[in-house]
A and B are shown apart, each in its own frame.
Chain A
C-alpha cells in the first residue's frame, strides 16, 4: 500500500542552523502539507502546497520557513535559522484532492526535530 515517507526520523541541530526536512508524498497525489506538533500540544497546520506553489499557510509559517518540491518526488520543509521553539514533531501529508472537495490526507510518520 502506498505511503508517505519522511527522512530523517530524528534530527538534532544547533540553534541558528538551517535544517531541511524531507518527505516523499504518495506518487499520484497533488496536494502536500506540513504540520507540526510541539510536545504535549496540538497538531498545527503550517502550509499546503499545490501546483508548485503555496496555496495556504498559517501564521506560524513565517519567513524562516520555506517549502519546495525540487523534483517529481520530494517535498521539503526548510527552516532557515532554527530556534529552540522550533523543536517539534513535523508531519508531512499528501492528498489526491484539495480545496474543492473532501480529501483524505495521508500522513507520514514524522520527523522529530530537536534544537539545542
Chain B
C-alpha cells in the first residue's frame, strides 16, 4: 500500500535554507506534491513534480526527486518568518483517482 513519511519538526534561522524531506513507498506514484498549511488556513498546493523529473525549481523553492530511493525533498532558500507553516508531502498516481496520499506534515519554525 501507499505510505508517505516525513519528519515532524524542522527549526531554522531566518535567512538560512530549509530542507524538508519525505519518503514514499509506492513506486508507481506519478505526481508528488508539496502542500503548505498556514495557521487557520487550508492546505495550499505549493508545488508538484512529475515522477519523470529529477528536479523542479520555482523561485526560492527547489524540489528534488530521487525515484530510486523514493525520496522527495523541498528546499526553501533564504527562509523567512513568513515561511513558518506545516508542509505536507503527498503522492498520487495516474490511472487512479489522483487522490493524494499525505504524510503527517512537517512543522517548519523559522526564528530570527
A residues whose Cβ falls under 8 Å from a Cβ of B: 3-4, 6, 33, 35, 40-45, 48, 55-56, 91, 93, 98-99, 101-110
Contact = CB atoms under 8 A, between A and B. Distances in A.
Contact of A91 (B40, B43, B105): B43
30 contacts: A3-B42, A4-B42, A33-B99, A40-B104, A41-B104, A42-B102, A43-B43, A43-B88, A43-B90, A44-B102, A45-B101, A48-B97, A48-B99, A56-B97, A91-B42, A91-B43, A93-B42, A98-B98, A99-B96, A99-B98, A102-B31, A103-B98, A105-B100, A106-B42, A107-B35, A107-B43, A107-B44, A108-B42, A109-B40, A110-B42
Contacts of B103: 42
Given A48-B97, A98-B97, A102-B31, A43 B42 contact: no
Contacts of B100: 45, 105
B10 interface: no
A94 to B, nearest CB: 11
A99 B42 contact: no
Contacts of B101: 45
Contacts of A40: 104
A110 B99 CA distance: 18
Given A42-B104, A99-B96, 16 more contacts: A33-B99, A42-B4, A42-B103, A43-B88, A43-B104, A45-B99, A48-B97, A48-B99, A55-B97, A56-B99, A91-B43, A101-B98, A102-B31, A103-B98, A107-B42, A107-B43
Contacts of B88: 43
A109 B99 contact: no
Nearest to B95: A99
Interface in B73-112: 88, 90, 96-105
A72 to B, nearest CB: 21
B44 A99 contact: no
